[in-house]
Amino acid sequence: MVNPRDYQDILTEWLRGTKFEKMQNDGGDSFYVIAVDAFGEIYVWGKNSGSCLKITSPYGMIFPNFSNDEYSKDGEELTLDLFFATKMSAEIDLDDINEQPLFERALEKLGHLENGEIYGFAPALALGGEPKLENLQKVKATEHLAFLADLGEKRVMADIVALAKKLPHNQ
């Protein structure tokens, strides 16, 4: 968990030029960072939509997941409790070039992370680096995430919840 204020500028950079920036500017929702994992995956909360965005910063990808119906039904407190209660360690790990989880090996090689640190790739993946244990180092989370946000165009991925709702069996 993080203090959303510490990550607001970084979130602004990640959302710049996306439909989510427009959504926030138009008053459709207000977005806040609520958590950052060991590899810099950013979990974003929408005031009107709950857990709605996941930013996979090493790869420059934004994954929308708007479940407004469930959020309205369950309420903010339950939705937030479920978000943290259902995070599995495999889900928040990152795979290396051989599709093997990195966290335990990074922890063994580099040690525990201090508050405000993440494991970052050097060189960054967007600059041609490879997701290998040898390329990981401890970095300051806010500085590294800001650096990654500045590296290039963000790729907004498909909202699988919205797509699933459009399938014939859901109509």
pLDDT score for 92: 72
- Determine the average pLDDT of the residues in 145-154: 90
Domain positions in the chain are 4-93+141-170
pLDDT in tens, 10-21: 999 999 999 999
Residue 168: pLDDT band with limits 50, 70, 90: low
Contact 29, 47 (CB under 8 A): yes
**What is the percentage of the chain residues whose pLDDT exceeds 70?**
78
Residues pairing with 45 in the sheet: 32, 51
Closest CA to 60 of 135, 110, 132, 129: 129
3-state class of 138 per DSSP? strand
Q: Alpha carbon 159 to chain centroid distance?
A: 14
Q: In which band, very low, low, confident or very high, does the pLDDT at 94 lie, cut at 50, 70 and 90?
A: very high
pLDDT in tens, 33-88: 999 999 999 999 988 887 789 999 999 999 998 765 565 556 566 655 666 566 55
